[in-house]
Amino acid sequence: MRVDIISIFPEYFAPLDVSLMGKARERGILDIHLHQLRDWTQDVHKTVDDTPYGGGPGMVMKPEIWGAAVDAVIGEGRAVSGEDTLPRLIVPTPSGRPFTQEVALEYAKEPWLLFAPARYEGIDSRVVAEYGARLRADEVSIGDYVLAGGEAAVLVMVEAVGRLLPGVLGNARSVADDSFAPGAMANLLEGPVYTKPPVWRGHEVPEVLLSGHHGRIARWRRDEALRRTLERRPELAARFDPESLDKHDRRVVEEFGERRSAAAPEGAPGAAFREAPEDVAD
């Protein structure tokens, strides 16, 4: 996969030389091209921003600079990747569509991604309007918080997508077992994990994991994943597909609900939030 990143801080992406992403690049699975946005400015000050129309605080990134940069990168890549190849354009912004494991899987199928992280108050909205009509352009959010710029969000997305590319993870570790992966793990958090020693500072590893009984271990892990999801992410648990819950799963969900109602009566603070999972688990 080819990945281009246009930023006023290309040095921000040094972490992509490290660990799994560094290996993927050495192996040629991930071909990352960094570009300095200021290379496409025309003035001595290399200005990339201007005051917002309509007033208000902060500065907005100028459309002409981004237009020249994106055009140049598209032209450069087409020469390499083939005449009719266009990248998927991805612009991180807190007002974007949520970036999820599903989106990561979709991006992992693309031959070419072009990331455009902004600084200041963002990029003039006509840039996404322009490229949205010429290629697929997505404004995406990695979570409900505001960063100082889109670069950190690009690092997150490149890592989430990069680890899904064939040959990046060893065969031993399947992405199908990830939390949020479609199928058996859809909407399920992973449960607790342990390694040696069997007792550490008085904390024991759950006995079932030492039993060697693979069936019981798999069942215990699924119970823990269900309970943890109900506890920490009731809005995910509310989307458990009843079809994907077996009899034992349904009992785990039911018992969790009973313990909850016993601990705090209906109407207690937070009751609505807590009881969301019961809507579908019945």
Smallest distance, ligand JAH to C-beta of residue 256, A: 31
Helix axes 151-162, 19-26, angle to 10 degrees: 70
> Binding of ligand JAH at residue 150 (CB under 6 A)?
yes
Cα(264)–Cα(281) distance, integer angstroms: 19
- CB atoms near residue 11 (< 10 Å): 9
Residue of 63, 94, 228, 275 with catalytic role: 94
Question: In the complex with ligand JAH, which residue's Cβ is closer, 122 or 277?
Answer: 122
Which of 48, 142, 161, 225 forms a contact with ligand JAH (CB under 6 A)?
142
Q: Which one of 78-86, 146-154, 180-188, 194-202 is the stretch in contact with ligand JAH (CB under 6 A)? A: 146-154
Residue 204 designated active-site: no
> Binding of ligand JAH at residue 132 (CB under 6 A)?
no
Which of 153, 157, 168, 236 forms a contact with ligand JAH (CB under 6 A)?
153
**Encoded tokens for 39:** 């290379």
Residue of 64, 121, 255, 279 with catalytic role: 121
Q: Which one of 73-81, 141-149, 162-170, 249-257 is the stretch in contact with ligand JAH (CB under 6 A)? A: 141-149
Q: Which one of 68-76, 91-99, 196-204, 223-231 is the stretch in contact with ligand JAH (CB under 6 A)? A: 91-99
Q: Cα separations (Å) of 28 from 3, 16, 90?
A: 12, 13, 22
Q: β-pairing, 49-50 with 60-61? A: antiparallel
Residue 279 designated active-site: no
143-147 contacts, C-beta under 8 A, 24 or more apart: 144/94, 145/94, 146/94, 147/94
The closest alpha carbon to 119, from 182, 43, 54, 66, belongs to 66
> Binding of ligand JAH at residue 49 (CB under 6 A)?
no
Smallest distance, ligand JAH to C-beta of residue 100, A: 12
Residue 94 designated active-site: yes
The closest alpha carbon to 226, from 203, 255, 204, belongs to 255
Residue 269 designated active-site: no
- Which element (helix H / strand E) includes 213? none
> Binding of ligand JAH at residue 162 (CB under 6 A)?
no
Please state the separation of Cα 108 from the chain's center in Å: 12
Which residues contact ligand JAH by CB under 6 A?
92-94, 118-119, 122, 141-143, 146-147, 149-150, 153
Please give the positions annotated as active site.
Answer: 94, 121, 163, 178
